[in-house]
């Protein structure tokens, strides 16, 4: 044992400058990631800012009560459903769109057109989600929104979009695609550019046309990239896109049943309702469930293509 410890110190001392270089980052992760991990304990106590963690009473699963009660209408049910469904649609539809537009762009010969359309598609990635919220408001608000002024100009009557629940999953998905397609597309473009040109040349000589080229060369070669990117994202399916949901819906309670996800629920429970117990409990549920998912996904990747496994 002592020999091992001495070995560790010897190594640390030998490369002390290099280890010192990792320190600022490691300290950061200890403070902002590892210490909060222990805070999972908050979910089981009635936390009191004044008394601190050790003197707050232990309450077992009481903090989970509100989160899980209500049968099929319980927050845990619709939040899990919403979080998983939205993210699933985002991941699949997102990657599909990115793929399709990347393929289309690579067939374009005109440089100016190619560059301009790529620039415009990437532009939404650069604006903040607050701006995304502004844009949604500008289009959909019931009094001055572009949509309603168009409807009225055509002789119709106005619609209060912010009152219609079923339309928001569609709007949110569209905004997601608008914001992220240009960015994600770049990865697929890079992949396609990296493909062996000779394969395409040979196919052309053999009389392969553009349809066949896409169908039998580009698509099969993109398949591994597509599968990997989808699998990677599946691990994070329990979180993400907080800013998108929060800025589009804000505190519009009428829409929560259809649009609330774990991230937004946890944020509101803490900052709006000041319900630390419920917020932490929901957070623990999200973390543990998410962790199990990542491990599962990694198992799958290991089976499918071991060299791409995360760990």
Q: Min. distance of Cβ 72 from another protein in angstroms?
A: 25
Site residues for another protein, 125-154, by CB under 8 A, read 126-131, 133-135, 137-139, 141-146, 148-150, 152-153
In angstroms, the CA 10 to CA 2 distance is: 12
Q: Is 3 in the site for another protein (CB under 8 A)?
A: no
Beta bridge partners of 232: none
**x/- string (CB under 8 A) for another protein, residues 10-29?**
-xx--x-xxx-xx-xxx-xx
Judged by CB under 8 A, the stretch of 64-72, 73-81, 216-224, 263-271 that binds another protein is 263-271
Taking CB under 8 A as the rule, does residue 157 contact another protein? no
Q: Which is nearer to another protein, 119 or 305 (CB)?
A: 119
Measured from the CB atom, is 71 or 202 closer to another protein? 202
- Span 275-294, contacts to another protein by CB under 8 A: 276, 279-280, 283-284, 286-287, 290-291, 294
Angle between helices 75-107 and 276-304 (to 10 degrees): 50
Main-chain phi, psi angles of 280, to 5 degrees: -65, -40
Contact 127, 120 (CB under 8 A): no
Number of residues interacting with another protein: please give it, by CB under 8 A: 103
For another protein, what does the binding mask look like between residues 32 and 51, x meaning CB under 8 A? xxxxxxxxx-x---------
23/71 with CB nearer another protein:
23
- In the complex with another protein, the residue whose CB is nearer, 89 or 106, is 106
Greatest distance between any 2 Cα atoms in the chain: 86
Size of the chain in residues:
311
- C-alpha 7/C-alpha 12 separation (Å) is 9
74/242 with CB nearer another protein: 242
Q: What are 104's two structure tokens?
A: 């289309």
Residue 104 binds to another protein (criterion: CB under 8 A)? yes
> By C-beta, is 65 or 119 nearer to another protein?
119
Q: How far is the CB of 126 from another protein (least distance, A)?
A: 5
Contact at 8 Å (CB) between 40 and 284? yes
What string of DSSP letters covers 138-195?
HHH-TTT-HHHHHHHHTT-----GGG-STTHHHHHHHHHHHHHHHHHHHHHHHHHHHS
Q: How far is CA 1 from the centre of its chain?
A: 45
- In the list 209, 273, 296, 305, the residue contacting another protein (rule: CB under 8 A) is 209
Q: Which is nearer to another protein, 35 or 300 (CB)?
A: 35
**Whole-angstrom Cα distance, residue 61 to residue 71?**
17
């Amino acid at each position: 044992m002592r020999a091992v410890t001495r070995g560790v110190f010897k190594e640390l001392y030998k490369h002390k400058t290099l280890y010192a270089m990792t320190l600022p980052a490691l300290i950061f992760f200890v403070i902002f990631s590892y210490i909060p991990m222990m805070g999972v304990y908050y979910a089981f106590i009635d936390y009191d800012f004044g008394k601190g963690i050790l003197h707050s009473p232990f309450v077992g699963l009481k903090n989970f009560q509100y989160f899980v009660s209500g049968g099929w209408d319980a927050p845990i049910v619709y939040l899990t459903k919403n979080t998983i469904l939205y993210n699933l649609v985002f991941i699949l539809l997102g990657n599909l769109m990115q793929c399709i537009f990347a393929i289309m762009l690579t067939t374009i010969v005109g440089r100016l057109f190619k560059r301009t359309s790529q620039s415009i598609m990437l532009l939404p990635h650069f604006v903040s989600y607050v701006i995304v919220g502004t844009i949604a408001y500008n289009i959909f608000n019931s009094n001055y929104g572009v949509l309603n002024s168009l409807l009225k100009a055509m002789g119709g009557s106005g619609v209060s979009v912010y009152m219609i629940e079923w339309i928001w999953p569609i709007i949110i998905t569209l905004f997601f695609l608008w914001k992220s397609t240009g960015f994600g597309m770049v990865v697929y473009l890079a992949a396609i550019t990296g493909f062996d040109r000779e394969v395409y040349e040979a196919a052309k000589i053999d009389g392969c046309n553009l349809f066949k080229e896409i169908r039998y060369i580009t698509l099969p070669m993109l398949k591994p990239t597509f599968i990997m990117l989808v699998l990677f994202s599946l691990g994070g399916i329990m979180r993400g896109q907080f800013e998108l949901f929060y800025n589009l819906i804000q505190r519009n309670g009428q829409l929560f049943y259809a649009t609330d996800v774990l991230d937004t629920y946890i944020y509101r429970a803490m900052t709006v309702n000041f319900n630390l117990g419920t917020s932490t409990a929901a957070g623990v549920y999200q973390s543990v469930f998410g962790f199990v998912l990542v491990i599962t996904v990694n198992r799958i990747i290991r089976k499918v293509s071991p060299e791409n496994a995360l760990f």
